[in-house]
Structure 1
């Protein structure tokens, strides 16, 4: 079997946010499936969209890119990634090297972000290394919604992620 090779990946799609976004959820870098679909959390087994729909008490899980964008904006959620480009093997966060961080000020200077959350440990680790020294804003680490994080079943994920509601629904 041939060993997988590193690929240099550049983040190709824009962050989702507007002038009412109150929380920012950061991943590491879009997976291969997400890059194929040209939008965040595109792997069919990733629980991100089901989890957000559950936390936001939405009757429908957004399906299309347009529905996903509308859902995020309606619930005051900004989404992007810590990495602008890097070398990676497939979708393996543990293989990430040669990181060029994303410029998070694109969001932070134009949206009233009250809290930043990391979708998983690697997003948190990369944020602490590359973004925190520049922007000095605390990130709260949440368990990853990735199918690779099988130890966290949906109910347990929802319990941890529910903390975002405090900011989302504060008036």
Structure 2
């Protein structure tokens, strides 16, 4: 018996986005709420509050507006896949349908960095690169620890540090400092 085919959420972006944050595939709580990172223990929004001052207590639509004001874009690498439950490890690899990144990337001329939220996102990104996706030399890619509650091996502080480093390096790229 195969698992149900799960479909991701639409991309959140504006043409002036400088950072594209990519997850793998929304979990059950996020899909049911039709909101990115809706699980109450997911640390995505608390991390963005620390990095960008986006208040985690704001209604979802206001958090998305703040995300765009900070020139951030948000999407997932996997557009659809078979999966039972929310764990990335439950995704059936042969069923993975990646999102159309070449089309999105053409819409983001100011892009400076791609932040990959977790190991599954990083593996899916590598598949895109091997399939011929290319980025301008000015765009850096950062593989970051997952914000998922399933990735409990790292504390919030331990996750925050590499996210802060990616932010600082992205700022350096933007300002021309290295």
Q: TM-score range by the shorter chain?
A: 0.7 to 0.9
Q: 1:168 to 1:37 in 2, by over 3 A?
A: farther
Q: Which runs of 5+ in 2 are unaligned?
A: none
SS in structure 2 of the partner of residue 24 of structure 1: strand
Question: Cα RMSD between the aligned structures?
Answer: 2.0
Could you list the runs of 4 or more consecutive aligned residues of structure 1 that deviate by over 3 angstroms after TM superposition?
168-171
Following superposition of structure 1 onto structure 2, how do residues 124-135 of structure 1 map, counting pairs within 5 Å? 124-135=122-133
Distance 2:54 2:80 in 1: 35
| Corresponding residue for residue 147 of structure 1 | 149
**Does 1:24 pair with 2:20?**
yes
Match of 2:6 among 9, 23, 28: 9
Match of 2:62 among 67, 74, 80: 67
TM-score by length of 2: 0.85
C-alpha contact 2:54 2:66 (8 A) present in aligned 1: no
Give the total of aligned pairs: 166
Q: 1:92 to 1:147 in 2, by over 3 A?
A: same
Q: 1:25 to 1:85 in 2, by over 3 A?
A: same
Greater CA drift, 61-70 or 31-40: 61-70
C-alpha displacement of 1:33: 0.3
C-alpha contact 1:23 1:168 (8 A) present in aligned 2: no
Q: 1:26 to 1:152 in 2, by over 3 A?
A: same
Distance 2:70 2:130 in 1: 25
Q: Which runs of 5+ in 1 are unaligned?
A: none
Q: 1:38 to 1:86 in 2, by over 3 A?
A: same
C-alpha displacement of 1:134: 2.8
| Corresponding residue for residue 120 of structure 2 | 122
TM-score by length of 1: 0.88
Which of the pair is proportionally richer in helix? 2
**Does 1:46 pair with 2:42?**
yes
Deviations 1:129-165 (A, max 9, x none): 1355332246321000001111111111111100232
